[in-house]
Structure 1
């Protein structure tokens, strides 16, 4: 892109007459140009401080109407140049960030899947945040790189340089969040492994828990302050790089002001919080060392290899943001700046952070599956200490302890009850095969109980045709509904028993009759009869059975 000084005003070339000028072989109305205050500059533009048009082939206007409208005109802020080095390298980086999106989604599916019940102490989103921030970095980096293609293609800088700078800062913002979430979640994962054998090994209201609560708030506080120092601002001066004088007077001061410097300092504080979180996790969940030197050695020793790469890369992100806040020539905000510094210090650290995360994401197992493996190993150690020897997997099938998959729940419960009393089911063929259910097994209890004899309906030998039909229906129903028949037989037995008791004496009077009798006795007592409620002129009551007493 030419960086000529447009303030070098050129006179309009002479035309066929006093009201005509020829620009790049096209005749334009000189009177209309003067009326609309157009000026011809040495960088090949025609401008009146409101509109700017290109005047060189093949973008030269072909005709000018008296109202100031040009025919076939091209704005100065158009992508008329070919893709330069900055655009070509940006395309390569954009492809790498796009590939990272696919790999991050694979890791998100792997590490975000649940294989154990969710607990309130460890939410599933905690392990996914680092991958969500990775997607954020990929998206913002792709937008910044693709828009930087037009930074070199525009004849005069305009919107593309603002967009690429805006999303570049958002990309760095997300790269720091990726490193933080990776370190924070590693501490959470260490805590989860620490308390899995004993949930009460660590308290949730001690100093350790309070530090783990406040560290994320502290990190995101400074990260958001970095965001508000950079993003909400007037970005228009950044595009004023159309000639060297304008770059020095407008763009450079705007790109290196005090807000950018303060934002770099806030990002440094966020990086220090990451170190504090790592030190806190190693202190509480790794073997402790005594002495300053031993603690320093232990800090390096117990730091995972992933963080030995991520934390220095995050430091490069912070250092480069501080560098461009003081030196404008190395900044991605600079049109035609140092491309080696822009891509090596501006985009490469964030890209490496993502690919380090992706590589270790493929190497590390899912946390739920790893926790289940640790539980199996721990149980095996417990069994070995107690001398418990488990039979091999084929033992159950050889001894007939594998239930038929088609067996009912009653049959499975009966088999479990028999196994408790030492009576294990055997396969019918004496070897492999499904277990033959015992049809004579009674109800499942803790002790064996003999099954009750089946209820048998007694035949009716009387003369009543209706009772004979009822007994026939009962016998038919007992064959289809054994339980209903048993209940009906029990009711019939109770009725027969009641009838036998009533053979020696009549049934007791009803409630209303007993009340009337009591009222009559009271009236007779008041009229001079005996106090017991029985008339003296009646014969004494003769007791015939115990029901009359």
Structure 2
């Protein structure tokens, strides 16, 4: 149970000589050699005593002060203690931990910026979809901080134990989180491109075509392989990582397990997940970017359509996956190795994730909130339509100068009512004022009163076609309601039937005799003695027989 690296030889030393054959000395303290041998204690070259159950340090100032006959040491320091100074691996881990802490703060700022809503939620584009990439960024940063801060104690522990287990455990979580981060950024970029197409025209893309089905099943496919990597690597006994206390133990326990079938299969699952990211990016470019013909034009179009951050993050994620594949076959460069190669472990094991975090943060600060960008696009489309229609909008300060930005809904309704003449104006439009109230003259209202005096057109019942409902003298409620509807319809939807009729009559009479009238045949349009709204029941046909025959001059006379 002593500390060795893989390339050192295991040396068992004889107990130091003491005053006699049953005495030994550790750090100037005498111990009973018979008792030590009775409890199977062995002395190792790194200054530790161990009987495969307990391990104690024997060099100053950590040497035991007393040994009891039952094999118990008094005031002894166990081997699994952080007593050694920080080495290169620890200092490098501190530097990377600080960088990841800065990345975590930047990621939280980007989450607050891009996760805020300025538009109502849409069922087709959930708000959490844009936040997942930042959630995974926070997850990766948190796992990296735990892994790197416990990495400091790997060198400080005289015998490898818990710190190297925690460091290795959270490093594999960093790999999964980093791949998921890149996936969510690529997936959401495609969703954002679709949203910009759908916003001006909701029917530009169908929701049941092949494109929509691929975008529905692709996340399920990706997370299936990512979670397969999780279940193959994480839920297991991790005690094999600390079993590097001697070359024999490393060769027998640590290396076979670290390069076993489960780690190889888990790395293969991440390879499939990374290929899914590449396919998703190609799918989004194909459907949401301009298409070109020809191999050269397609290549140039693909290069132009690729966002710069994906040119950086996708290869970095691929490098991280490649490192996990490498250490599943080669123990020399493994992050789980007790005295591994520090530049390889940190540059290849922790570097890609850190760079992806900062690339994402740079994108987050440089790009606007998507809701704000969508509002700006809507504003630009509205300005374009206004220019085409010749509409000139008042500047934004207009409402504030007039105080309209302080109006409540009631104030706005009152303003609209006042623009059409207030209550009296509405009554004059829809009911008609008696002559006694207005004096029979226009009082400044846009449309004059709709009484019978101002509207001489009278139907058979004696009520103007745009007259008020109270002019109706009958008792039928249905007829009364019909007159109200007719009055409002005439005001809201005015027509020019009478001017058009007069124009047609003038046009016809210009080339020939006047149009046909009933008086020509000896009968009037209104029977004598009949008032408005009344009908003469006479069946006299004398005038019709005595009248001259009708002469048809045009089709309008028929």
TM range (shorter): 0.7 to 0.9
Shift in CA distance, 62/231, structure 1 to aligned 2, threshold 3 Å: same
Whole-angstrom CA distance in 2 between matches of 1:248 and 1:407:
80
Distance 2:209 2:408 in 1: 53
Q: Is the 8 A contact 1:414 1:441 kept in 2?
A: no
Matches within 5 A, 1:253-402: 253-393=256-396, 402=403
C-alpha distance in 1 between matches for 2:121 and 2:56: 64
> Which residue of structure 2 lines up, in the alignment, with residue 199 of structure 1?
202
TM-score (norm 2): 0.73
* 1:395–1:58 Cα change, 3 Å: closer
Q: Distance in 2 between matches of 1:380 and 1:188?
A: 26
Aligned to 1:165: 168
The SS at the match of 2:328 is helix
Cα distance in 2 for residues equivalent to 1:294 and 1:309: 23
C-alpha offsets along residues 164-204 of structure 1, whole Å, 9 cap, x if unaligned?
Answer: 11100101110001100000000111111011001111111
Q: How does 1:108-257 map to 2 (within 5 A)?
A: 108-257=111-260
Q: How far apart are the structure 1 equivalents of 2:405 and 2:155?
A: 74
Q: Tell me which residue corresponds to 1:414.
A: 414
Q: Which runs of 5+ in 2 are unaligned?
A: 435-558
**In the aligned structure 2, how far is the partner of 1:241 from the partner of 1:408?**
76
> What's the Cα RMSD here?
2.4
Mark the runs of 5 or more structure 1 residues left unpaired by the alignment. 424-439, 453-549
Please give the alpha-carbon distance, in whole angstroms, between the structure 2 residues aligned to 1:445 and 1:389. 33
Shift of 1:2: 5.1
What is the CA-CA distance between 1:75 and the residue it aligns to?
Answer: 1.1
Deviations 1:128-166 (A, max 9, x none): 000000010001111111111111111111111111111
Q: Distance in 2 between matches of 1:49 and 1:391?
A: 87
Cα 1:117/1:396, change in 2 over 3 Å: closer
CA deviations 1:405-428 (Å, max 9, x no partner) are 47782x532321343x4x7xxxxx
Contact 1:87–1:150 (8 Å) recurs in 2: yes
1:404 and 1:36 mapped to 2: Cα distance?
90
CA 1:445–1:364: 2 relative to 1, 3 Å? farther
Deviation at 1:101? 1.4
**1:41 maps onto 2:47 in alignment:** no
SS at match of 1:88: helix
Give the Cα–Cα distance (whole angstroms) in 2 for the partners of residues 246 and 444 of structure 1. 98
Superposition pairs for residues 454-473 of structure 1, below 5 Å? none
Distance 1:389 1:357 in 2: 41
Query: Hey, what's the Cα distance between the residues in 1 that align with 2:18 and 2:85?
Result: 33
Match of 2:476 in 1: none
Deviations 1:501-542 (A, max 9, x none): xxxxxxxxxxxxxxxxxxxxxxxxxxxxxxxxxxxxxxxxxx
| Distance verdict in 2 for CA 1:255–1:407, change over 3 Å | closer
Q: Distance in 2 between matches of 1:39 and 1:143?
A: 36
Partners of 2:428 and 2:45 lie apart in 1 by 105
| Count of equivalent residues | 432
Q: Secondary structure at the match of 2:227?
A: helix
Q: Report the secondary structure of 2:338's partner residue.
A: coil
Equivalent residue of 2:283, what SS?
helix
CA contact (8 A) 1:442 1:449 kept: no
- Of 28, 31, 48, the residue aligned with 1:28 is 31
Q: Distance in 2 between matches of 1:313 and 1:299?
A: 20
